[in-house]
Structure 1
Amino acid sequence: MQVYRGQVIENYELNLMKNNIGEFLSMNSFVSTSHNRLVALQFARTSTMIRDDMQPIIFEITIDPRLKTKAFADITKYSSFSKEQEILIMIGTLFRIETVIKNENDRVWVARLSLASEDDFHLREIYSHMKQKIGENTTLDSLGKLLLRMGENEKARKCYERMINEILLTLADARLGLGWAHLRCNNCDESLEQFEEVLQIREYVLGEDHSSVGETYSFLGEVHLENENYEKTVIDLNKAIKIQEKTFPSNSLDLAATYDSIGNAYTLMEKYGLALEFYEKALKIRQRTLLPNHPQIAAVYKNIGWMYKCKKRYSIALEYYKKSLKISRKTLPSTHQNIIEIETAIHEMESKMKY
């Protein structure tokens, strides 16, 4: 029997599966699947949770109905969505990873799994212990202890290494949030310290070219920009761009934000040619990805206007400020600070053009 599940997963989870073909995968929750591959494909493509560091994936799961462990049930007649032909797989079920490949036609990853039997790879003991000792409260620590008792020392080592890495990444997320809190409280030095700790952890756990490392460099660049240290700003933002261009899709809004930020830095450094180059890259992505009246498009028009104002090209600056204002008036109230700033800039440009 073949069933399917569509979802999105983080890049590091995808790489973990790709590097462990033939090994076993356990999911720590009930797994909803469907007989209908198109249903799974729709879930993978339309997930609202997808970010730049995530990938859509379909799990193609082969189930042998003759298995002694009946770890699945057809719940179609009980489901509110009978057309999904739902098969529910129980919590803690083990799967063997057969292949992980990219389906270019559907633009999703496909992981082919097979439901493991109790006899697979001496798994009878694992099933027994998981049911008797761990139950539904499975953690990496409890699994590691179980593997040590079974003499599976190498697997235990990998389990605890993963546990440490996950703890470190959680610590990095906490430091990241603390860094943003400090930045918004105008504590730039404390913010910088936290972001540098995040960078060190993410490089150690994920590698120097991971998208999360690129994200961290972009945040460091923002702090240096706030500190008016423009040389360090462009160094960190260029590092971010180098990684993001390799790891993000070409229409990534996160990449566009980094382009926009480095454009601001180059404007403040009076390197207007470079500023315009990156503003136009940001604008191109946002125009391709967002609705025509989106505030992020208005924002980059405003920044281009500001760049031309600094360059004393007032007529061109006026043109871009008006473009920004036209969009902003459709999305913001007339008393919004952003509209007031743009209107003030327009009056300033018109005044300068008279003399």
Structure 2
Amino acid sequence: MCRDNKTEQEKINQFEDIYTKHDAVQWYTQNSFLFRLTNRAFRSEEIDQIYIFRLFITDLYKQLSSLYSKQEHMHDIKIYRGRKLMREELERLRNNIQHIISINGFLSATSSLDVALCYARAETSREGYESVVFELDIGHNQSKACVDISKYSKFTDEEEILCTIGTIWYIENIDWNNDTATWWVKLKLTNEKAQPSMELVDTLRKQYIDEECTLLNLANVLVAVGKYNQAQNYHKIMYDNLSVTDNQKIQMNNCLGILSYEIGEFDNAIMYFQKAEEIINSKQELFNHCQATICMNKQATYSALNNYTFAQEYFHKLTNIILTGLSANKHLMVKIYNNIGLSYHINNELDEALKNYARALVSDNPHSLDRSAVYNNIAGAHYIKKNYDKAKSYYTRAISIAITFR
């Protein structure tokens, strides 16, 4: 992309030679590949694209935090952002007045209205664009999100303010301004969050990220939200890393087994689960938690293959693991009891299935996604038993929980 552009290639070479983490703001404010590609990655909302720029994004975020701690804090001031906006985007904003919007990446603004107007009125040959000025009200006690970088920017005369990743704004009003001949969009910085989305993020963080954000944890989250191809890419990156621990190898093989299961490659799933099990058996200290997870997944896969002999074998292994005192891990216990219930369910032993579903509910958080899955299975069992009122009730409960995580 930049190979045929000598100017951009020179900037890339310069970046490789002299960049340090203390120069992140200056590099970001240059009209160069780094600014464009970083923002393109944020706009794409693709984790693997954002991951490419993770080190630079981290440097920029940390430098903004450092600058904030050193400068005079901004309170109750208005800043501005001018740009050309597609009519469709402007219309979407107008349809969401008195609602909130979240900014995916960093947001560049200015304390100078004149600078914002220059950007808003800039000539463009593209059709279907409107001149727009955003009036951004930082408000009181909200100023930490926005930092004055004018002394550190490549263009000091633009009086630039940079707002950090993920700021959330309330759309107060949108009107045509005759004085400036631009659309005028009033936004107010807010602490409000999109609650269902934040609950989903918190659930994924608790269930799939133990202590730190690693490639492996990221891959686990991608599996949980159905991004199987991206998850496979991260596992390939991990496999190329020679410092992978035995525990991580177990998790990777388990995750690859789940990926294979989800796309219907059951034989491959068994192969990956078997690899994980072999490592576990050689590492006794990892046995209980990991073995339970692998047994649960192998049981589900053998059931999908209609191989009930092996499914029952792993069902009994799961039962023995539970008896050894694994019950402290409530999240895992929910999945185990739910899978045991499904095993009985498939064999049409519905009363035993319902007993295990009930055990899963006792172990679970009242508002988790796993509980929604258990309710769905209970409803299915009651439907087969022709208990239609109960089936309807449990389907309703399953939907009411699941819909909050959309």
Give me the TM-score of the superposition, normalised by structure 2: 0.38
Give me the TM-score of the superposition, normalised by structure 1: 0.43
